[in-house]
Amino acid sequence: MAKAIGIKLLDQKGDEIGDGGGELGNLAAIDLINMDPRLAKVKIETACDVDNPLTGPTGASAIFGPQKGATAEMVQVLDKNLAHYAAILEEAIGKKIQDIPGAGAAGGLGAGLMAFLNAELKSGVDIVLEASQLGKKIEGADLVITGEGKIDSQTIFGKTPIGVAKTAKSFSVPVIAIAGYVAKDSEVVKEHGINALFSIVPGAISLDDALINAKEYTERAAENIASLLKLSLK
């Protein structure tokens, strides 16, 4: 993104570094001279679905690296490189963004948006909930059902199901969440307004199977949940 708007990330020789988190270790200076001047007149609001900082145990590398195939060793290198990047960034713009919630979103893009474009990071789910007026629709309801592809401990970091659950909780409405995969560490979501979790996967199946038959599996899980609710009303 920085390169696309005219910013140069330079090494010790004054040459531009390559792409990727591995290259950030070679960063020596950030040149803002050729940044597109039109951006100074633009107000940017960014919809951000997580509140992870740039570095550390809940930062971009530690949380999102393994999801993208990074090994434990790679995560350590990436986190170190991002910390180095943050230090150079602070020198260039005079602002510390490393620990700001959302700085680690999209592999660190949140930090870049705040640093280079003075963007305001807003909870993506809050923007959507406000636009959809979910609160008005939940008020008076008996039950709210929400969902996500995978529900795990990271769901609590600003993901949609938690935003929905918090809204429902404000009206004392119970929440059921369904997902393609419910991880072992998912129980933490019950501390944030979700009352029960259900996986739609019928057994040990391949990812291709899960994707191809997602509609059927979702319908089957929903039918079983509805049957259970029916029993509780008798």
Out of 3.30.200.20, 3.40.50.1100, 3.20.20.140, 3.90.1510.10, the CATH code matching 39-124 is 3.90.1510.10
Strands across the sheet containing 144-151: 144-151, 175-182, 196-199
Give the pLDDT score at 125.
84
Question: Cα separation of 171 and 167, whole Å?
Answer: 7
* The CATH fold of domain 133-233: Rossmann fold (3.40.50)
Q: Which residues contact 110 (CB under 8 A, 6 or more apart)?
A: 46, 48, 54, 100, 102, 103, 104, 121
The pLDDT assigned to 71 comes to 96
Residue-wise pLDDT tens for the chain (234 aa)?
A: 999 999 999 999 999 999 999 999 999 999 999 999 999 899 998 988 788 999 999 999 999 999 889 999 999 999 999 999 999 999 999 999 999 999 999 999 999 999 999 999 988 888 888 889 999 999 999 999 999 999 999 888 778 899 999 999 999 999 999 999 999 999 999 999 999 999 999 888 998 999 999 999 999 999 999 999 988 776
Cα separation, 51 vs 138, whole angstroms: 25
List the chain domain ranges.
39-124, 133-233
pLDDT of residue 75: 97
